[in-house]
Structure formats: structure tokens, C-alpha cells
A and B are shown apart, each in its own frame.
Chain A
Amino acid sequence: MIRIEDVTKVYKTSTRPALNNVSFEVDKGEFVFVIGPSGSGKSTFLRLLLREETPTKGKIYISNVDVAKMPRRKVPRLRQTIGCVFQDFRLLSNKTVFENVAFALEVIGKPAHTIRKVVPEVLELVGLDGKSDRMPNELSGGEQQRVAIARAFVNRPLMLLADEPTGNLDPDTSQDIMLLLERINRTGTTVLMATHDHSIVDSMRRRVVELEFGKVIRDDARGVYGVGN
């Protein structure tokens, strides 16, 4: 699914590489935590997968396509196969829940009848059925993150990238969000989640890739956050 080969990323403004000769693989349908302190290279890694950045050196394969060498015009198609969720939800405040999710389909040219059919389905999946006409500011943080997850998942991506999705949520709500991500993972979607949240990593017992100073220092199939510290 994802194969990272000897990837190094150096930003122009910095002397130290954000990622330093990183290699690992993620299989289809896996659930992987990417952990590490701020500045360890987690966000750079996610940006490389989205082709927001290109690596200074090395190769990044997604479904056997080298993302770094992909021509620009093919990037939108790549991104259509990747869903994204962020710490700050990134919802459009002037659109309803339904419209926020529908937006992701509208802008890639999906026909209206598909949108009318698919959006309610995914809202039900994330547990927001009945709230489709609410505005984002009428929702709790957890509900807003569910909308964001619905939007990321509505086009049935092969892979879901979550960058600190529980960073703004209380522990109980975070747990609910994790259950939702797990449910999405069970549909066959690969989930990559960057996080600082010890308790979540420890309770889930999934694969953990730990980064520090741009290097992979640990890759446990069923890891916890604290091991080695």
C-alpha cells in the first residue's frame, strides 16, 4: 500500500533534515500510529504522502506509484484516494453539516444524485444522522470532528491520514473518535494517525512507528507509547 524507501526531506530554511533516511512499509488495511515529539517529522511525513511536499531524496510509493515523480496534473487524482482529518477540524463555518460533507464530492465533480445518496449514508456511519442541517458552531468538538471524518471518508478513500485528530478533544470524546476510526479501518481503509496521546496509543495496541529527529527509532507491531522511555 505505502512503501517509503530511504526518504530524506530537508527544508530550505533548516539545516537539520526533517526526515532522515526513513524507510518502512504499510500494508493495505493496517492501522498505524505515527508518534514522536513535535518536530520529529510526523507532519512532514503526512505532507509527503499527500504530495504537498516532495522528498529531497528517496522514493514514496502509494499503490506502486512513485508519488514524488508523479506529474502535477495527476496529484488531484492521488488526493482523491486519501482522506484527511486534522486537529482543528477545518470545517466551513458557513455551510451545514450536510453541505460540508457534500462539498468534498462537489469539488471533484460528483453528480448531485450521488451526493444525495452517499452523504446521508456516511453521516449515519459517523453517528450524525439527524444533524445534517446543523451548522458547525452548533456542534460539540467531537461532533465537529465526526463531520470532518465523514468528509474525509465520503469518497471512500484507500487511506485515511489523521493528524492529531484527538488533540482538541477530551479523553471520553477522543475514545469515541478512536472507535469511529477503528470502524473505518474495518471497512478495509488503511489508517495512519499521527498523535501525542499516550493513553490512546496504549489502549489500542496497534502498530506504532516512532520518529525522533527525523529517524524511525521504533516500529512495533502491537506497541504502546511509553516503551523505551
Chain B
Amino acid sequence: MRASFVFSEVVTGLRRNVTMTIAMILTTAISLAMLGGGLLIAQTVDLTKERYLDDIEVSIFLTDDVSANDESCTEDPCAALRQSLEESDEVETVIYQSRDEAYESFQRIFEEQPELVELARPEALPASLRVRLVDPERADVITEEYEGEAGIAQIQDQGVFLERLIDGLNSFRNITLVGSLALLAAALLLIANMVQISAFTRRTEVGIMRLVGATRWYTQLPFLLEAMVAGVIGAILAAGSLVGLQLFVVDGVLAELREAGIISLPSLLYTVLIVAPVLLVSAMVISAVTGYVTLRMYVRH
């Protein structure tokens, strides 16, 4: 196989159908960028979840009666509840927060709004059991089991807020992935079309090649490589724009959210080392397979 020959064939082929090639490169680039975007959002979801799950608690707020009379959770129903929770397999730790402690923490949280602290009375705040779970995502098991029991006013699962955030991110990710799939289908058709046009414009060459006894490799490799080169250029553009987007847009816009610890973003390294290779390999596989199938279907050997 003479590399220089195949190479020059590929270059001529790409230049000959330059509009088609550009259309295909752009479609591939955009669809792959969206795919990469989807991957990055998925990673954001994972990282954010991981970060939050460590801190998530289920708060069991006790009734006024218990809050007022049981300072250290030594009497029933509080003591019984606590024991039962501690014995549960789902539970990692249980911490009792008395009414006074709740008030202290309230004062701390609203330090900067003294008028609020002014208004609040310790009697308005309930005592609570702060439950940390082995698996923070199974909070509903606790809620179901203890809801309505004596001494319990309300059960609050912080995970619900996280879920809302995650749901938001997930639907954003799904939209991106669906969009990328639709565009990928378009890119696929463009690749098929490009290979067909390329094979058609070069039918005289291919005819002569077959006649003088060129092997299938020689006649078809230029077409495959053409599709693959265009696909790889598309992937590089896609990876480049993702990195750019991350550096100049996402990191800027979402910087506050990240610094406030509300969401955790994947690092640039993740984009370069994981997402970019995934895009590159997908582009090569997709264009090679599409090209090969097209040649099998439309070009007689």
C-alpha cells in the first residue's frame, strides 16, 4: 500500500466536494459538541450528588411538648425513637438537637439579620433528631417508617432539595443528548451522501482501478479515509469548542455557584482526557462504519 497515493487521493477528494465536506464537518462537530456537553452535564450531576450526599441529613422535628419538656432526650417518646433509629440498618448516626441548641444555631445562621433573631423565641423552634443515613438516597424509608409516630411533628428530608437540583440538571442533560442524537443522524446521512458523491465523481478512476487489478483496499480506502478525516476534524472542533466554552463561559457564569458550593463542575482535565477522546473515537467509528456500509450498498466492486 502506497501511503502517498492514498493520501493524495484523500486530499483531492475532500477538496473536490468542499461544500459537502464543510457541511459534514460542521454537523459532526455540533452533534459531537452536544454529545460532549451531555457527558459533561452528566459528570456535573455525579460530582454534585457526591458532594451533597455526604452532608445530607433527615431531620425529625419533635412536637412542642417533647421539645419543651425533654431537654436531653432521655425520656420517651424521644429516647425510644432515638434508640429505634440507632438500631436501624439504614442509619449511620443520630444526633439530638435540643430546643436551645436549635436556637443557638438559628442565631448563628441569621447573624446578619438581627431583627429576625430579635423576633425569634426559643419556644418557636422545635428540638430535632438529625439522622445521617448509610445510603442518603433512601431517606423515604425513614420518612415512611416514622411519619406520624408519637412525639414527631414533621420529618424533613434535605435530599428532596438536592433531587430538585439533580432533576433539573438531568433533564438539561437529556435534552442535550436527544439533540445530539438527532444531529448525529443528520451527520450520518451527510457522511453517507458525501461518500456517495465522492464515489460518483470518481467513478472513472475507480473503474480504471478495478480494471487494472487494484484490490478492494486500494479502491475503497480513500473514501473511508476521506469520511474519517472529515469526522476527526469535526471531533477536534467539537472538543476545542467544549474546552473553550468551559474556560471562558461556564467557568465565568457558574463560578459563583461553584464557589458557593452549590454545584461541582468537572475539571478541564476531564474534558481533555475523557470527553475529547470519547468524541474522537466515536467520530472515527461512526464515519468509518457509515462509509463502509455506504460503499457496500452503493458501490459495486
Which residues of A are found within 8 Å of B4, using beta-carbon distances? 112
Are A78 and B213 in contact (CB-based, < 8 A)? yes
The number of chain A residues touching the other chain, given as a range, is 20 to 34
Are A108 and B208 in contact (CB-based, < 8 A)? no
Complex interface residues of chain A between 36 and 87 (CB less than 8 A to chain B): 50, 73, 75-84
With A76-B214, A90-B204, A92-B204 known as contacts, the answer to whether A107 contacts B209 (CB < 8 A) is yes
Are B211 and A108 in contact (CB-based, < 8 A)? no
User: Closest approach, in angstroms, between the C-beta of A85 and any C-beta of chain B?
Assistant: 10
Which residue of chain A has the shortest Cβ distance to B8 in the bound complex?
A106
- A50's contact among B2, B208, B211, B216, by CB below 8 Å, is which? B211
Which residue of chain B has the shortest Cβ distance to A103 in the bound complex?
B208
Which residues of B are found within 8 Å of A79, using beta-carbon distances? 210-213
Are B2 and A106 in contact (CB-based, < 8 A)? yes
Which residues of A are found within 8 Å of B207, using beta-carbon distances? 90
Are A80 and B204 in contact (CB-based, < 8 A)? no
Which residue of chain B has the shortest Cβ distance to A115 in the bound complex?
B2
Q: Does B205 contact A (CB under 8 A)?
A: yes
Which residue of chain B has the shortest Cβ distance to A106 in the bound complex?
B5
Q: Does B106 contact A (CB under 8 A)?
A: no
Which residue of chain A has the shortest Cβ distance to B206 in the bound complex?
A107
User: Closest approach, in angstroms, between the C-beta of A119 and any C-beta of chain B?
Assistant: 14
Chain B window 1-32, contacts with chain A (Cβ cutoff 8 Å), 1 for yes, 0 for no: 11011000000000000000000000000000
- A109's contact among B2, B204, B208, by CB below 8 Å, is which? B2
Which residue of chain B has the shortest Cβ distance to A100 in the bound complex?
B208
Are A155 and B208 in contact (CB-based, < 8 A)? no
Give the secondary structure class of B's interface.
Answer: helix
User: Closest approach, in angstroms, between the C-beta of B63 and any C-beta of chain A?
Assistant: 85
Q: Does B215 contact A (CB under 8 A)?
A: yes
Which residues of A are found within 8 Å of B214, using beta-carbon distances? 76, 107-108
User: Closest approach, in angstroms, between the C-beta of B248 and any C-beta of chain A?
Assistant: 44
**C-alpha gap A81/B5 in the complex (Å):** 22
User: Closest approach, in angstroms, between the C-beta of A194 and any C-beta of chain B?
Assistant: 16
Q: Does A118 contact B (CB under 8 A)?
A: no
Q: Does B218 contact A (CB under 8 A)?
A: yes
Are B212 and A104 in contact (CB-based, < 8 A)? yes
User: Closest approach, in angstroms, between the C-beta of B2 and any C-beta of chain A?
Assistant: 6
Which residue of chain A has the shortest Cβ distance to B300 in the bound complex?
A52
User: Closest approach, in angstroms, between the C-beta of A83 and any C-beta of chain B?
Assistant: 8
Are A104 and B208 in contact (CB-based, < 8 A)? yes
Query: Interface on A for B, CB 8 Å cutoff?
Result: 50, 73, 75-84, 90, 92, 103-104, 106-109, 111-112, 151, 155
Extra contacts, 7 of them, besides A76-B214, A79-B211, A81-B213 (Cβ < 8 A), are A78-B213, A79-B212, A80-B213, A103-B205, A111-B2, A112-B4, A155-B212
Query: Interface on B for A, CB 8 Å cutoff?
Result: 1-2, 4-5, 204-205, 207-216, 218-219
